[in-house]
Amino acid sequence: MDITDAIAETTTPLPGDLGRDEVVDLRVHASVLPPPTARIVRLREVMRATPCSICLERPRLLRAFERSREGKLADKEHATIRRAKALRYVLQHRAPRIYDDELIVGNMSSKRIGANYYHEGISVNILEDIARLETRAVPLHLTAAEKRELLKLGLWGATRSIAARSLGRPGRLSHFAHLLRPRRYIVTEEAGISHQVGGYADVVQCGLIRVDSRAAACIASGLLENGSPANADQLAFFASVRIAVEGVVAMATHLAEACEARAAAATTTPERRDELRIIAAGCRHVPLHPARTLQEGLQACWLVHVALNLEDYEQGLSFGRLDQILGPLYARAVGASASATDVTATTHADTSRIVELLASFELKTCETIPLFSERVDMGFSGNTVGQAITLGGVDAAGDDATNPLSGLFLDAFAQIQTREPNMQVRVHAQTPEWFLHKAMAVVQLGSGSPALFGDAAIIGALQAVGVAEAHARDYAVIGCVEIASPGRTYNSSDAALINLPLCLELALNRGRQFPGPHGSRKQLGARTPPVAELLTFEDVVAAFRAQVVDAVDEVAQVLSWLEPCYRAHRTTPVNSMITEGCVESGRDVTWGGAMYDMTALQAVGLADTGDSLHALRRLVFDDKAMSLTAFVAILTTDFADQEPLRLRLQRRFEHYGNGDRRADEMTDLAANIYADAIGSHSNSRGGVWIPGFYSMTCGTSFGSVTGALPNGRHAGARLSNGFSPVDGSDASGPTALLRSAASLSTQRWANGGALNIKFDAHTVRGRVGRDALASLFRTYLVDQAGMQVQINVLDSETLRAAKLDPNAFPNLLVRVSGYCAYFNDLQPEIQDELIARTAHGVH
Amino acid sequence: MACTDPAASVGGASASPAPLIFAIQHFCIHDGPGTRSVVFFKGCPLRCQWCQNPESWRRETELAHKGHLCIDCDTCVDVCPTGALTAPGVWDPARCDLCLRCVDACPAAAMVRFGEPRSADDVLAALQPEFNLYRRSAGGVTLSGGEATLFVPLATEIAQRLKNQAIHSTLETCGLFKLAAVQPLLAAIDLVLFDLKLFDDEAHRAQCGAGNAGVKENLRALVRRAASGAGPRVWPRLPIIPGITSVADNVTGWASLLQEIGVRGVTLVPYHQFGAGKRSWLPDAPAAPELGALSPAELARSAAILAAHGVQSFAPGAEDWRLAGGVATRG
Ligand code: SF4
Ligand code: SF4
């Protein structure tokens, strides 16, 4: 054995070591991630090498439908029937594409990797970039003819967008402008609601035929299932479901035909011919009928997912708990009980084939990207749409539901490590060791995936907003961090983001921003009292509260204009047919048909706000170092000539994230003020408003328009992320950080939150690292009822970037035996040494 | 301030100044079994050239200046009541009465103190929030430094109180102590990480500032007691310092001794230079020697020599503790 490897990877023993990996132990066995098959390597490389593009098929077909005879006739029908027919037209007429090697078929667009174009939303923004599509940060490759067509279709669709329909009226235009240059908030619902985790369990077990026949029965009888008469809207809804099912079946059939044609081609190898015939048989059967095999189960989920993508908008369309949904089919495939945790029970060949199937499925999610102009992308970069797969967790009775498939989905992801899908792992007291260790093994690869979710905190938060216990226990992740009871919920989970620190700036200046290049001169917020009248800390808090309420109220106003437009113009029959409550009530999800309905607004810059409240309280009201007026005067000049004070606030004051109760309480206060403001609203579908704490990359865009903050943050600097501490402020290690995070009132955060924690790859390498991470996060998620954590294991390249930006990665954990130091505390030369260590894997 | 003569203080033989602790660091995964907190005591009888924690050497509170964080605001100079501090980072220890006003006033956290008197209550309070993690990871607390055996009463009280709560405790020691005086501490400890350096007595004196006769004697005694169940388990650790401890003769010397006394596992702690920068923070610490990087081959050769003597080598954190001599108190 090569000694260099032996030292680099402590799981591999030094010469003479007993060889602990040989100890027969299920946990150790399961932690080993199997290598990809040749097929998966080929598929992965194709996806990595393929440039991104835009698919114009959807708008092209929608425009063709509008101009067709069928489309003109549909003009006279109920709006939702018209919408369903347009979707059916797209699904029927889109060209099927079967790619080499894939085991799950169904092209997401006409391009191998392409963004679908949603004229109903904000896709038109891409026209801003039309002259530089190939040179953008995320280059998009289009032929000259395609660019001309994009322009044409863009102009056709612009007047049909939800924003034009809802805000393009006198009196509302200023809000329209705010959407273009967000400051206090950004209303993401303008783009689309999407963000759904549908009832894939029913799709797999019952097939769409069940919902179709239920709709058919209601139409035939003219009655709802409860026997009451159905009105015209309800009958139109049932018709829309049936039309949409027809469209999905047509798409599946065309894919089957394409597979059969390929199988018949002389150039196709016999092995591939067999594969294609199996796939074709599957597409002729699912998703209309119940899936008979694991492969058909995956195929059914995928086809419905594609239909959802084409129906309205693509963000956050998630699969839910695929390990639970497909568990019975897996058990049938291997002839064992799906609840058995003994993954060794299946033969190696079985497992390897199943992992290949799962990897092929997961790779399909890489076919789609979001279509954001660079301006919009500033707030939402990452080029991901957030297709989440949730694994592990408890069942309806509260018992562990982890099964072998839970681990195999992670194995498959480890083989591809692509930007999609989003892997989400649920953790509870009975989560098996082998599963958590496997999750940590994947985390060690450095892709930031899977994220971990604490069942106790999340189930509690959902129950607090009225979700029944059994349904809350069944939660799945939407997109990145949002949560829902799958197949029962319509949650506009990403409706808007609010700039919380800006509310504090406004509170300190009567509802206006501090002067400066970042600031708007307008009266942005409520006219709270002037600083001279804020005599106590409680007065400051009251002014802040008033500003938060004012910002949230304004978002409520904008959403109240959007919601009727959704009801009228953007109904979603596919989404509704996989959401419980809709067929029962005869209502589309946009009409409030779902069993649970919600709208969620996220706060950005939580820790910056909390730390600022703490700094302000301590400096002005406790230490009485200066008057509030004097301090605010310093803030309005962005700490000009006040660097010592600014540094003192940043380096010497207490901060959230260090296990310091006083600082943590201020962050919780900020979160609670926000949650109070959110909780006072409801949406027009009859659903509750719920708060979430994540930022996307809005921390950068909101930060650029936010003034200096009492915690020493300069005007224009980016804001803290999710419920993570402020960059540069947590210096007490991961245990203190997680304790602080767990101390927040997350039981009120029904839309979840994002916490980032960073480690140096060298520190947490090998089995020692896995053991340490597993026990660390079990303590946080189980003992402390923590809600969520995303773990970033940083390689040497990232560490180099950290060095250049001293405040970027201060909470990076570096550990060397017997050595006492923090990364950010070290001189640049020593940081270089540490980086070199990580780069070479030596020591 | 008087400078401590390293040879004058030997573990267990302490009286005077109140014990100081310069750091408590959590989530340490290379300093004993599982995930641990390390309590760093201030004061050490040795002065190893390659030491990674030079702030641990002296037993007294020390001022230090992190030049790279300083913004030259002169606040420290302005607040110094004795006139000891004449410019950022420049002070006369003879005139300084350690009032720490400069530390309190420094906005940039550049002027810092090393060493704080902390009671057992205080240390336990800092450790208590970590107890769940120790239990979940089969970890605990490591008393390190510096040299914890210089402070037997405090170290013993901490270890005993941990033991009362069934928390595993480890002592990391340089091995230079008076065995009888350290007895109470050993009685409360579960595991001793015993650091070996130079095998040759003269070389040890030259590199570490004191001879090693006592170290070897203590090692033999501790291993013997562990074997008979009369003391904590013992696990040696050998820092592999390029050209110093890594030379074949040195490793062979230790390997023979370990073989002779029946030790079966050792940790090879690879040398790194991360402590070098900290020396410039301290006014009178000598610069770290230029040793160059450790090559994997040197590490491999050391492991091979030890293996030839029946002693298995491990990377820090990856030890198979079942090989530790003696009787486990738990697990
Ligand atoms: S500790 Fe006090 S006396 Fe010593 S340098 Fe600092 S301010 Fe001056
Ligand atoms: S007070 Fe701190 S930052 Fe200012 S000169 Fe002194 S050491 Fe430097």
In chain B, positions 201-220, which contact chain A (CB-CB < 8 Å)? Answer: none
Report the candidate in A473, A290, A466, A310 with the shortest Cα–Cα distance to residue A390: A473
- Same domain? B122 vs B75: no
Of A431 and A375, which is predicted with more confidence?
A: A431
Note down pLDDT in tens along chain B; length 331 residues. 334 444 445 666 544 568 999 999 999 999 999 999 999 999 999 999 999 899 999 999 999 999 989 999 999 999 999 999 999 999 999 999 999 999 999 999 999 999 999 999 999 999 999 999 999 999 999 999 899 999 999 999 999 999 999 999 999 999 999 999 999 999 999 999 999 999 999 999 999 999 999 999 999 999 999 999 999 999 999 999 999 999 999 999 999 999 999 999 999 999 888 888 888 899 888 888 888 878 888 899 999 999 999 999 999 999 999 998 665 444 3
- Mean pLDDT over A212-234 rounds to 98
Which of the listed residues B1, B77, B92, B98 should we mutate to test ligand 1's pocket, taking the one with most ligand atoms within 8 A of CB? B98
- Same domain? B24 vs B68: no
pLDDT for A362-371, tens place per residue?
999 999 998 8
Are A710 and A649 within 8 A, CB to CB? Answer: yes
Are B161 and B120 within 8 A, CB to CB? Answer: yes
- Same domain? B74 vs B29: no
Residue partners of A629: CB distance under 8 A and separation at least 6: A531, A532
Phi, psi angle pair for A459, to nearest 5°: -60, -40
Q: Is residue B275 part of a domain?
A: yes
Of A705 and A814, which is predicted with more confidence?
A: A705
Question: Amino acid identity of B129?
Answer: P
- Residues having CB within 6 Å of any atom of ligand 2: B 65, 70-76, 88, 105-106, 108, 110-111
Q: Given a cut of 60, is residue A18 above it in pLDDT?
A: no
Q: Given a cut of 90, is residue A123 above it in pLDDT?
A: no
Q: Is residue B271 part of a domain?
A: yes
The model's confidence at residue A120, banded by pLDDT at 50, 70 and 90, is confident
- Whether residues B315 and A828 touch (CB distance < 8 A) is answered with no
Question: Residue B59's CB: how many other CB atoms inside 10 A?
Answer: 24
- Same domain? B144 vs B264: yes
Are A706 and A580 within 8 A, CB to CB? Answer: no
- Mean pLDDT over A810-822 rounds to 62
pLDDT score at B145: 87
Report the candidate in A31, A8, A207 with the shortest Cα–Cα distance to residue A774: A31
- Whether residues A644 and B270 touch (CB distance < 8 A) is answered with no
Strand (E) or helix (H) holding B269: strand B265-270
Question: Residue B219's CB: how many other CB atoms inside 10 A?
Answer: 23
- Same domain? B25 vs B54: yes
How far apart are alpha carbons A647 and A51 in whole angstroms? Answer: 45
User: Looking at A489-631, which runs of residues are DSSP E strands?
Assistant: 489-499, 596-604
CATH number at residue B97: 3.30.70.20
Q: Does the CB of B308 have a partner CB in chain A at under 8 Å? A: no
Phi, psi angle pair for A59, to nearest 5°: -65, -35
Q: Is residue B171 part of a domain?
A: yes
- Same domain? B38 vs B70: no
- Same domain? B193 vs B228: yes
CA distance to partner chain B, nearest, from residue A733 (Å): 7
- How many helices (H) and strands (E) chain B has is answered by 11, 13
Side-chain-side CA neighbours of residue A86 (13 Å): 30
For the record, the structure tokens of A560 come out as: 């109240």
How far apart are alpha carbons A361 and A302 in whole angstroms? Answer: 8
- Same domain? B51 vs B77: no
Of A652, A766, A820, the CB nearest to B40: A820
pTM of the full predicted structure? Answer: 0.93
CA distance to partner chain A, nearest, from residue B304 (Å): 7
Q: Does the CB of B130 have a partner CB in chain A at under 8 Å? A: yes
Q: Does the CB of B316 have a partner CB in chain A at under 8 Å? A: yes
DSSP string, A110-158: SSSSEEEP-TTTTGGGGGGGGGGGGGSSS-----HHHHHHHHHHHHHHH
- Mean pLDDT over A721-737 rounds to 88
Question: Residue A336's CB: how many other CB atoms inside 10 A?
Answer: 16
Of B22, B31, B71, the CB nearest to A817: B31
- Mean pLDDT over A78-89 rounds to 97
Q: Is residue B331 part of a domain?
A: no
Question: Residue A254's CB: how many other CB atoms inside 10 A?
Answer: 17
Which of the listed residues B62, B101, B104, B111 should we mutate to test ligand 1's pocket, taking the one with most ligand atoms within 8 A of CB? B101
Question: Residue A612's CB: how many other CB atoms inside 10 A?
Answer: 29
As a dihedral over the C-alpha atoms of residue B329, residue B128, residue A606, residue B71, rounded to 10 degrees, the angle is -100
pLDDT score at A14: 34
Q: Given a cut of 90, is residue A21 above it in pLDDT?
A: no
Any atom of ligand 1 within 6 Å of the Cβ of B74: no
Q: Does the CB of A95 have a partner CB in chain B at under 8 Å? A: no
CA distance to partner chain B, nearest, from residue A785 (Å): 13
Q: Is residue B298 part of a domain?
A: yes
Q: How far is the CA of A365 from the centre of ligand 2 (A)?
A: 54
- Same domain? B289 vs B220: yes
* Residue the block writes with tokens 């060298």: A762
DSSP-derived letter for residue B74 is -
- Whether residues A16 and B307 touch (CB distance < 8 A) is answered with yes
How far lies B324's CA from each of A21, A24, A104, A309, in Å? 19, 21, 53, 59
Give the burial string for A401-415 (b: 16+ CB within 10 Å, else e).
bbbbbbbbbbbbbbb
Residue partners of A311: CB distance under 8 A and separation at least 6: A87, A244, A572, A573, A574, A575
Host domain of residue B128 = 13-60+116-323
DSSP string, A363-414: HHGGGB-----HHHHHHH-SS----EEEEE-B-TTSSB---HHHHHHHHHHH
In chain A, positions 619-678, which contact chain B (CB-CB < 8 Å)? Answer: 643-645, 647-648, 651-652, 659
DSSP-derived letter for residue B322 is G
How far apart are alpha carbons A815 and A794 in whole angstroms? Answer: 14
CA distance to partner chain A, nearest, from residue B314 (Å): 6
Phi, psi angle pair for A622, to nearest 5°: -95, -60
Of B23, B108, B303, the CB nearest to A16: B303
pLDDT score at A676: 98
Q: Does the CB of A23 have a partner CB in chain B at under 8 Å? A: no
Of A3, A648, A833, the CB nearest to B296: A3
- What are the chain A neighbours of B35 within 8 Å (beta carbons)? 771-772, 775-776
Are A58 and A107 within 8 A, CB to CB? Answer: no
- Same domain? B68 vs B46: no
Any atom of ligand 1 within 6 Å of the Cβ of B85: yes
Residue partners of B273: CB distance under 8 A and separation at least 6: A830, A833, B288, B291, B293
Q: Give the position, in ligand 1's atom list, of the atom nearest the Cα of B101.
A: 7
For the record, the structure tokens of A701 come out as: 């865009």
DSSP-derived letter for residue A541 is H
Is residue A801 packed enough to be buried (19+ CB in 10 Å), middle (13-18) or exposed (0-12)?
A: exposed
The model's confidence at residue A342, banded by pLDDT at 50, 70 and 90, is very low
**Number of domains comprising chain B:** 2
- What are the chain B neighbours of A843 within 8 Å (beta carbons)? 270, 272, 294
How far lies A488's CA from each of A571, A580, A687, A802, B264, in Å? 17, 5, 13, 43, 60
Q: Which ligand is nearest to the CA of B67?
A: 2
The model's confidence at residue A335, banded by pLDDT at 50, 70 and 90, is confident
Q: B238: helix, coil or strand? A: strand
Report the candidate in A500, A466, A553 with the shortest Cα–Cα distance to residue A673: A500
Of A644, A733, A826, the CB nearest to B75: A644
CA angle B46, B161, B23 (to 5 degrees): 40
- Same domain? B87 vs B139: no
Q: Is residue B5 part of a domain?
A: no
Q: B112: helix, coil or strand? A: strand
Report the candidate in A602, A604, A586 with the shortest Cα–Cα distance to residue A594: A586
ipTM of predicted complex = 0.93
The model's confidence at residue A345, banded by pLDDT at 50, 70 and 90, is very low
pLDDT for A283-296, tens place per residue?
999 999 999 999 99
Strands A476-478 and B90-91: unpaired
Give the burial string for A370-400 (b: 16+ CB within 10 Å, else e).
bbbbeebbbbbbebbbbbbbbbbbbeeeeeb
- Same domain? B159 vs B105: no
How far lies A580's CA from each of A237, A475, A584, B20, in Å? 14, 14, 8, 64
pLDDT score at A7: 35
Q: How far is the CA of A643 from the centre of ligand 2 (A)?
A: 12
Are B271 and B288 within 8 A, CB to CB? Answer: no
DSSP string, A547-571: HHHHHHHHHHHHHHHHHHHHHHH--
CB pairs under 8 A between A and B: 177
The model's confidence at residue A758, banded by pLDDT at 50, 70 and 90, is confident
Question: Amino acid identity of A208?
Answer: L
CATH number at residue B40: 3.20.20.70
Q: How far is the CA of B112 from the centre of ligand 2 (A)?
A: 10
pLDDT score at A3: 32
The listed range with the strongest mean pLDDT (A771-775, A803-807, A812-816) is A771-775
Mean pLDDT for chain A overall: 89
Q: Give the position, in ligand 1's atom list, of the atom nearest the Cα of B91.
A: 5
CA distance to partner chain A, nearest, from residue B42 (Å): 12
Q: Is residue B173 part of a domain?
A: yes
- Enumerate the β-bridge partners of residue A792: A758
Q: Is residue B208 part of a domain?
A: yes
